[in-house]
Structure 1
Amino acid sequence: GERGPEGSGVSGRGGGTGFVGRALTQLLRSRGHQVTHVSRQGGTDRISWEELSHSGLPPCDAVVNLAGENVLNPFRRWSDAFSREVISSRVETTKTLAKAIAAAEQAPRAWVLVTGVGYYRPSPTAEYTEDSPGGDFDFFSRLVSSWEAAALIPGSPARGVVVRSGVVLGQDGGAISQMLLPFRLGLGGPLGSGLQPFPWIHIRDLSGIVCHALEKESVQGILNGVAPSSPATSNGTFAQELAAALGRPALVPVPAWAVRAVFGAERAVMLLEGQRVLPKRTLESGYHFIFPDLAGALKDIVG
């Protein structure tokens, strides 16, 4: 990508210090950018949500929102309260940041929001690009719709970019950290039929796409944050590849009823059904993937 001028990225609650936020912060700082986080408490290189509401947005070149309560936390039972937290941790933080950008004396040049491929309807056969419809058939698609709508700032000079991310694979967090133990014990396997699509991206590529969107002035609109080979990956293929990378068998399929029992029906949809998503506009925008293939991505993470 082009080198952007020094600026400060501002990321959302749990956004700057979460799994993706840490990787993105490291990448941006390595490229000479200053990064300020928005968090519950202010401090060095961070401002609090309260300061943001009272004093407004500090001068910055770009704002990034990575906020969101972990939907697949197996220790949280699905309930009305939890679903409200899931919504507010995404939609409300996005509204707050959008409001701060709209009110800023000097608007940032770019405003990047990371959402999810849950926007598209799960299907074993359909293939989705950034132009495909979605957004109104289950809890998660409606959530992504309202989340993306909350980011719209009519008439703002800030370039708006939305990255719809697949399952993020990386060390020290994300999906892999929850899967490693059963796979290391030789108890890992596909979920349900294993035939459902498994849209994935390596964390270095998700950070890379966000950085590319910040630095390249021509990038705007929706970008799918999934690896180019992701449409060919099923849940079963993923289980086999992860087991192979760990030198273990992938023998034990997890029946659909067990997934529903642990995660509840709403969240089970994310695991038992999936979307075949193509990063069409992402590639057209000039982004070059570091890990286009699953074997290489997993070797990097667990090898």
Structure 2
Amino acid sequence: MRVLVGGGTGFIGTALTQLLKAKGHKVTLVSRQPGPGRITWNELTRSGLPLCDVVINLAGENILNPLRRWNQAFQKEVLNSRLDTTHLLAKAITKATHPPQAWILVTGVAYYQPSLTEEYDEDSPGGDFDFFSNLVTKWEAAARLPGESTRQVVVRSGVVLGRGGGAIGHMLLPFRLGLGGPIGSGHQFFPWIHIGDLAGILTHALEADHVQGVLNGVAPASTTTNAEFAQALGAALGRPAFIPVPSTVVQAVFGRERATMLLEGQKVVPRRTLATGYQYSFPELGAALKDVVA
């Protein structure tokens, strides 16, 4: 298939592109910079959608970039980097003479309200209690297409674990030094997914005609708490992981609103993802982390 990937030059996009090419699909990236196998967002605006079978959007500014202060300017950037690219692709699909067979958007489990007791599947309510849940609601609304000609899929991703980027990139050094540990209370749930499985779910969604609607992009072993995750990462590295990061420190680095993403969590299950027939390569945390730190 001919697959167009928005924001495909990052951590997730690179893994997805490798998998798609390995399976014989032809990939074109939409990015800010021109290059071989790419078109720019400006070209897409000017010339419309190139001929393709599937469109996937991964674009979005990294919310948890510790080098950026959580102020109004950065919040606007976080919002616009997701909504503008999604609007642009959805509009291009709507106007295309030959619309693609499928349109896939990756959002986040921040849609569901943090809780120590609730369990959420793809049909659970959410999306209206803080900046991040509202962001996901607007983001998914921006992707909606009129009519039935293009199959629509939304994958709500958990924390993505993989080599050379993502959440693990910031954690490895303190954990390797034996200074790792749970964040805040450690009781909060930590919905995670191995990058190979996130790329796998996206590939499954574009190849399988029966897949549509919302899928939770989390591992089935999603009852992991933050403290259990810290212990498992320490074990994978052969290091102790008992030094907690106080919530006051997390709030000082990320700002109070953004810190809730780390200090609070959701128990999310991939009920519909499993029901579509997707088979996980890394359903268990221990094996996923061993692969990531190998």
TM-score per shorter chain, which class? Answer: over 0.9
8 Å CA contact 1:94, 1:150 repeated in 2: yes
* In 1, Cα distance between equivalents of 2:42 and 2:161: 33
1:81-100 alignment to 2 at 5 Å? 81-100=73-92
Residue among 251, 271, 276 paired with 2:267: 276
Kindly state the Cα deviation for residue 264 of structure 1 after the two structures are TM-superposed: 0.4
* In 1, Cα distance between equivalents of 2:256 and 2:55: 35
Whichever residue aligns with residue 119 of structure 2, its letter is E
How many residues are aligned here? Answer: 294
Q: Which residue is equivalent to 2:279?
A: 288
Residue among 174, 192, 198 paired with 1:206: 198
* In 2, Cα distance between equivalents of 1:68 and 1:42: 18
* In 2, Cα distance between equivalents of 1:98 and 1:281: 24
Kindly state the Cα deviation for residue 143 of structure 1 after the two structures are TM-superposed: 0.2
Kindly state the Cα deviation for residue 42 of structure 1 after the two structures are TM-superposed: 2.7
Q: Which residue is equivalent to 1:154?
A: 146
Runs of 4+ in 1 over 6 A off after TM superposition: none
Kindly state the Cα deviation for residue 255 of structure 1 after the two structures are TM-superposed: 0.5
User: Could you report, residue by residue, the CA deviation over 1:45-83 in whole angstroms, capped at 9, with x for unpaired residues?
Assistant: 111111111110010000000011000000001000000
In structure 2, runs of 5+ residues without a counterpart are none
1:83-122 alignment to 2 at 5 Å? 83-122=75-114
Q: Which residue is equivalent to 1:66?
A: 58
Kindly state the Cα deviation for residue 11 of structure 1 after the two structures are TM-superposed: 1.7
Query: Is 1:263 paired with 2:257?
Result: no
* In 1, Cα distance between equivalents of 2:35 and 2:192: 34
Kindly state the Cα deviation for residue 266 of structure 1 after the two structures are TM-superposed: 1.3
* In 2, Cα distance between equivalents of 1:77 and 1:148: 26
Query: Is 1:248 paired with 2:244?
Result: no
In structure 1, runs of 5+ residues without a counterpart are 1-6
* In 2, Cα distance between equivalents of 1:282 and 1:88: 28
Q: Which residue is equivalent to 1:3?
A: none
Q: Which residue is equivalent to 2:116?
A: 124
2:248 partner SS: helix
Whichever residue aligns with residue 181 of structure 2, its letter is G
2:215 partner SS: strand
* In 2, Cα distance between equivalents of 1:133 and 1:92: 25
8 Å CA contact 1:128, 1:276 repeated in 2: yes
Residue among 9, 16, 40 paired with 2:3: 9
User: Could you report, residue by residue, the CA deviation over 1:120-155 in whole angstroms, capped at 9, with x for unpaired residues?
Assistant: 000011000000000000000000000000000111
1:48-59 alignment to 2 at 5 Å? 48-59=40-51
* In 1, Cα distance between equivalents of 2:81 and 2:174: 30
* In 2, Cα distance between equivalents of 1:216 and 1:266: 38
Kindly state the Cα deviation for residue 245 of structure 1 after the two structures are TM-superposed: 0.5
Aligned Cα root-mean-square deviation (Å)? 0.7
Kindly state the Cα deviation for residue 156 of structure 1 after the two structures are TM-superposed: 4.5
Q: What TM-score do the two structures reach when normalised by structure 2?
A: 0.99
Residue among 259, 268, 289 paired with 1:298: 289
Whichever residue aligns with residue 192 of structure 1, its letter is G
* In 1, Cα distance between equivalents of 2:282 and 2:242: 26
Whichever residue aligns with residue 166 of structure 1, its letter is G
